[in-house]
Structure 1
Amino acid sequence: MQQAITETADASSRTIGFILWRTKQILANREDVIAVEIPSRATLYRLFDKLAVGTHATGSARTRRSINARPSGPFGEVPASAPGELMQIDSTPLDVLVRLDDGIAGKVELTAMVDIATRSITAAVLRPTTKAADASALLARSVTPETMRPGWPEALRMSRSVLPHRRLLSMDERLEHAAARPVIVPETIVCDHGKVFISNNFRASCRYLGINLQPAHKATPTDKGTIEKTLGSVATLFAQFVAGYTGSNPDRRGRRLEYGQLWSLPELQSLLDEWIIAVWQTRTHDALRDPDAPRRAFSPNEKYATLLQSCGYVPVPLSGADYVELLPERWQAINAYGIRIKYRTYDDRELNPFRRQHSGVTAKKGLWEIHHDPYDISRIWVRDRCGDRWITVFWKHLHRVGVPFGELAWDRACEQVPGGTEEQIADAAAALLRRAHDGPAAGAGHPVKRSRRDRRVAARTQATVTGRKMPDPPAPKALPGEEADPELAEVIPLGLFDPLENPWRPQ
């Protein structure tokens, strides 16, 4: 029976009757056993009750796996005595439905980072699907002050909190209009083996900011138990109070939630940011008790203010070029026609000196370093190592699309136009987003029907570009000895996002 109970560690949950049946099968298959008198059913049940204590053999499979992953000896813990000395990052689906564009209701993923010394949630990002760029943006948000937003109570200002605002302001002027959330620079980050956190982009972002990335053991959530517990607390203390809460599993889910009043993704992100400042950072935490007075529990803000007296504070201002550094990178050649990424061609006159040239990076076989934003395929950035600058290169067919969109919409358009040219795919992607924006159109007396996947792709794409701004594409420059064309058409502003304008400055 002990062997039968052990076999259930990674298997699906079954009843006691199956364990008893499996016990008899194990006995029947043993060659050294000639005859065994099986006790009564009541006796077998009593034996099971004794042997299955603490194993969760017939309960939740998730709890059973967690129990089996625990170490057999005493629990160990890496001490953290300074803010940022040890931090943990993880991502999980948030148990809340949001109203995406075009009325689609969908779930989002929450990616958050917590500081072990103070238990502060330094940053949290909601996305339809978490990408490496989101994890990199999380690092930038952790080292950037959270500015006050319209509608937030004045009590949420850092100047009104227990944080030493006046002392910090003398070292970092960005904190003048900051909310009561500490700015913590990570030294070591513990993560799991999710593809977002072990990606080349996230590793490069950590190297750029001087952060030591420490992956946990595979299938061992106990290596980062603090962030696991923190994400569970967010569901308990925040998510269940939000309209559209789905519960942690289908057994706890209500009916017809998608037809109720749901928040949009930007609205839910603002609510989460406000909740972290107003509730989480001011709520006492059992792990933040004073060793000399165990009855005294600190809040994350109080613990940060206490540790700041001995650890100090060093601001890390990020510029627009730093933001580009945190975007995903790839290495490609600059050909005569420009740069091609997923059948999209990017070209600009500034690439003329580098076409078909060696980049000087022998380790990458002479390829050029390119950074791109998966949520905005309108442009890429090429590193000019000689001039120590970033060259912004626009998509060749940007004039065909009037709104920004990311790789999700592009990949869907490629599926709809198999073997199509770049112009056809661009038109298909633009038409997909245009149909989502215009809504059902009447044609010949019948409404145009769109697949649910088309609507979901358009909605999730729009959710990632809301509020992003970008200046006009630059007019082509005249070559030496060539007159500029006086009849160039007027450039229509696209209203997209320009990271080189330093998006991290206080508004």
Structure 2
Amino acid sequence: MQQAIAETADASSRTIGFIIWRTKAILADCESTAVELPSRATLYRLFDKLAAGTHATGSARTRRSINARPSGPFGEVPASAPGELMQIDSTPLDVLVRLDDGIAEKVELTAMVDIATRSITAAVLRPTTKAADASALLARSVTPEAMRPGWSEALRMSRSVLPHRRLLSIDERLEHVAARPVIVPETIVCDHGKVFVSHNFRASCRYLGSNLQPAHKATPTDKGTIEKTLGSVATLFAQFVAGYTGSTTDRRGRRLEDGRLWSLPELQNLLDEWVIACWQTRPHDGLRDPEAPTRAFSPNEKYATLLESCGYIPAPLSGEDYVELLPERWQAINSYGIRIKRRTYDSPELTPLRRQHSGVAAKKGLWEIHHDPYDISRIWVRDRRNRWITVFWKHLHRVGVPFGELAWDRACEQVPSGTEEQIADAAAALLRRAHDGPAEQKDHPARPSRRDRRVAARTRATAADRPIPEPPAEPPHGDEADTDLAEVIPLGLFDPLANPWKRP
């Protein structure tokens, strides 16, 4: 029976009757002679004793979590300074948001927590988490949180327990910011999700001087602090938000999609305000001083205490630093420019680099290119002098609003053998149909599919808060811009023998 219970570790949940049947099957395979089994009631009592604490017939999720725990005593890596050890993870947030065109969907929460102070240094909501979002967390962690319209004055850093005056003398960025610590990560612990083990996130960590430490596979206890923190966000914040779905389907209410739901930017603003107003000022049981074990400190209080011994070094980020954190790829610069997923990017500044060797032998002479998956309007190319060249999409003038890879891939599916111009027109038509909404049946019988509306809604949700300014309305190539022709005024023929002083 112990063997039968152990077999349920990764299997689906079954009843006690199945465990007893499996026990009999194991006995029949192992014993050469028949074994007399006790009564059914005795087998049930034996199961209750052997399966205690295993959840053999309970939740499969709980059973896997229990089996993943280490057999020995629990331990933890000590952290005595802010940023010395941080953990990052992503999980679905149990809240429905209202995207464009009325689409109601759950979003993913990606957050990073500091072990020494238990501070949530950054939290980002996205329809689907990408490597660029994980890199954005690093940028937000080292950037002060500015005060926003509608926030209470009590949330200012100058009104908190943080040593604002002393920090302001070191970092001028802290003059009008909210009470959230600015922490530069030294070591980041993550799981093996493709977002965190991607080349882009590793490159972003190297650029900021942070060490990336992947946890053991299928071992959530290696990053238990962020796991518990994300669970606390669900119990302390998510369940109070309109559109809360519950952690499982049996806890979900009815007709939540028809209720009043927040948009993604609004929910992000609420989450940021909650982190500053509630989480950073809430006493944490894991923040106790050995000299005062009866008192639990808040993350801001612990940060202010550790700041006395660790100090503070500002790490301001510029626009070029943001480009450094974007996903990279290596490609050649051809005579027509750079082509990425059937899109062509070109600029006059690429002329001296066309068909040239970049000088990077490890990449076979290819050029380093950074791109934003949420905005395909431009890319950035690093030249030989380590400067960034902004290169725009040639057919940007065909689409009135910026969009990302999700909308482009959907347009490619609709026009599988089309040209670049046709795909651009299809992407623009997709966004326009989803924005206009369903029309009257007699005028437009073909209504956009739910997938088209979902793609458009996710695109606008992620394009609304991009930190890079919007591109110009037309591309830098004058020969391709749509311009109105001026009135043509004909000139007379020049007669070199005519008297110039003679009136006509």
- State the TM-score, normalized to the length of structure 1: 0.93
**Counterpart code for 2:435:** H
CA distance in 2, matches of 1:375, 1:253: 31
Question: Is the CA contact 2:135–2:201 (under 8 Å) kept in the aligned structure 1?
Answer: yes
CA distance in 1, matches of 2:430, 2:444: 19
Quickly say closer, same or farther: Cα 1:239–1:53, change in 2 above 3 A: same
Matched positions, count? 481
Match of 2:451 in 1: 453
Match of 1:24 in 2: 24
Quickly say closer, same or farther: Cα 1:247–1:409, change in 2 above 3 A: same
Question: Is the CA contact 1:70–1:222 (under 8 Å) kept in the aligned structure 2?
Answer: yes
| Root mean square deviation of aligned Cα | 1.5
Question: Is the CA contact 1:15–1:58 (under 8 Å) kept in the aligned structure 2?
Answer: yes
> The residue matched to 1:371 in structure 2 has which SS?
strand
Match of 2:269 in 1: 270
Using the TM superposition, give the Cα deviation of residue 36 of structure 1 relative to its aligned residue in structure 2, in angstroms: 0.8
Match of 2:501 in 1: none
CA distance in 2, matches of 1:340, 1:21: 61
Using the TM superposition, give the Cα deviation of residue 439 of structure 1 relative to its aligned residue in structure 2, in angstroms: 1.7
**Counterpart code for 1:460:** R
Quickly say closer, same or farther: Cα 1:475–1:425, change in 2 above 3 A: closer
Match of 1:5 in 2: 5
Using the TM superposition, give the Cα deviation of residue 85 of structure 1 relative to its aligned residue in structure 2, in angstroms: 0.1
Match of 1:505 in 2: none
Using the TM superposition, give the Cα deviation of residue 489 of structure 1 relative to its aligned residue in structure 2, in angstroms: 3.2
| Unmatched runs of 5 consecutive residues or more in structure 1 | 478-483, 491-507
Using the TM superposition, give the Cα deviation of residue 476 of structure 1 relative to its aligned residue in structure 2, in angstroms: 4.8
**Counterpart code for 2:81:** A
Match of 2:14 in 1: 14
Using the TM superposition, give the Cα deviation of residue 448 of structure 1 relative to its aligned residue in structure 2, in angstroms: 3.4
CA distance in 2, matches of 1:19, 1:267: 50
Match of 1:285 in 2: 284
> The residue matched to 1:58 in structure 2 has which SS?
coil
Return the match for 1:434 from 432, 435, 441: 432
Match of 2:90 in 1: 91
Question: Is the CA contact 1:168–1:175 (under 8 Å) kept in the aligned structure 2?
Answer: yes
CA distance in 1, matches of 2:233, 2:64: 22
Percent of aligned pairs sharing the same letter: 86
Match of 2:222 in 1: 223
1:125-136 equivalences in 2 (<5 Å): 125-136=124-135
Match of 1:494 in 2: none
CA distance in 2, matches of 1:475, 1:64: 57
Using the TM superposition, give the Cα deviation of residue 204 of structure 1 relative to its aligned residue in structure 2, in angstroms: 0.3
1:325-344 equivalences in 2 (<5 Å): 325-344=324-343
CA distance in 1, matches of 2:355, 2:231: 52
Using the TM superposition, give the Cα deviation of residue 56 of structure 1 relative to its aligned residue in structure 2, in angstroms: 1.3
Match of 1:466 in 2: 464
Question: Is the CA contact 1:338–1:346 (under 8 Å) kept in the aligned structure 2?
Answer: yes
**Counterpart code for 2:313:** V
CA deviations 1:439-478 (Å, max 9, x no partner) are 223474454311110010000011001144314268758x
Using the TM superposition, give the Cα deviation of residue 252 of structure 1 relative to its aligned residue in structure 2, in angstroms: 0.3
CA distance in 1, matches of 2:141, 2:444: 51
**Counterpart code for 1:27:** L
Match of 1:189 in 2: 188
Match of 1:502 in 2: none
Using the TM superposition, give the Cα deviation of residue 438 of structure 1 relative to its aligned residue in structure 2, in angstroms: 1.6
1:28-427 equivalences in 2 (<5 Å): 28-30=28-30, 32-386=31-385, 388-427=386-425
**Counterpart code for 2:459:** T
- State the TM-score, normalized to the length of structure 2: 0.93
**Counterpart code for 1:394:** F
CA distance in 2, matches of 1:205, 1:191: 14
Using the TM superposition, give the Cα deviation of residue 58 of structure 1 relative to its aligned residue in structure 2, in angstroms: 1.0
CA deviations 1:187-211 (Å, max 9, x no partner) are 0000000000001000000000000
> The residue matched to 2:275 in structure 1 has which SS?
helix
Quickly say closer, same or farther: Cα 1:465–1:231, change in 2 above 3 A: same
Question: Is the CA contact 1:27–1:33 (under 8 Å) kept in the aligned structure 2?
Answer: no
Q: Which of the two has higher C-alpha Rg?
A: 2
> The residue matched to 1:453 in structure 2 has which SS?
helix
Using the TM superposition, give the Cα deviation of residue 297 of structure 1 relative to its aligned residue in structure 2, in angstroms: 0.5
Quickly say closer, same or farther: Cα 1:476–1:47, change in 2 above 3 A: closer
CA deviations 1:67-111 (Å, max 9, x no partner) are 111111111210000000000000000000000001110110000
> The residue matched to 1:279 in structure 2 has which SS?
helix
CA distance in 1, matches of 2:14, 2:294: 44
**Counterpart code for 2:483:** A
CA deviations 1:14-55 (Å, max 9, x no partner) are 11111111101111111x440211100110111111111121
CA distance in 1, matches of 2:39, 2:353: 84
Question: Is the CA contact 1:442–1:448 (under 8 Å) kept in the aligned structure 2?
Answer: no
Q: Which moved more, 1:401-410 or 1:466-475?
A: 466-475
Question: Is the CA contact 1:110–1:126 (under 8 Å) kept in the aligned structure 2?
Answer: yes
The ranges of structure 1 where at least 4 consecutive aligned residues each deviate by more than 6 angstroms after the TM superposition are none
CA distance in 1, matches of 2:409, 2:107: 20
CA distance in 2, matches of 1:397, 1:321: 25
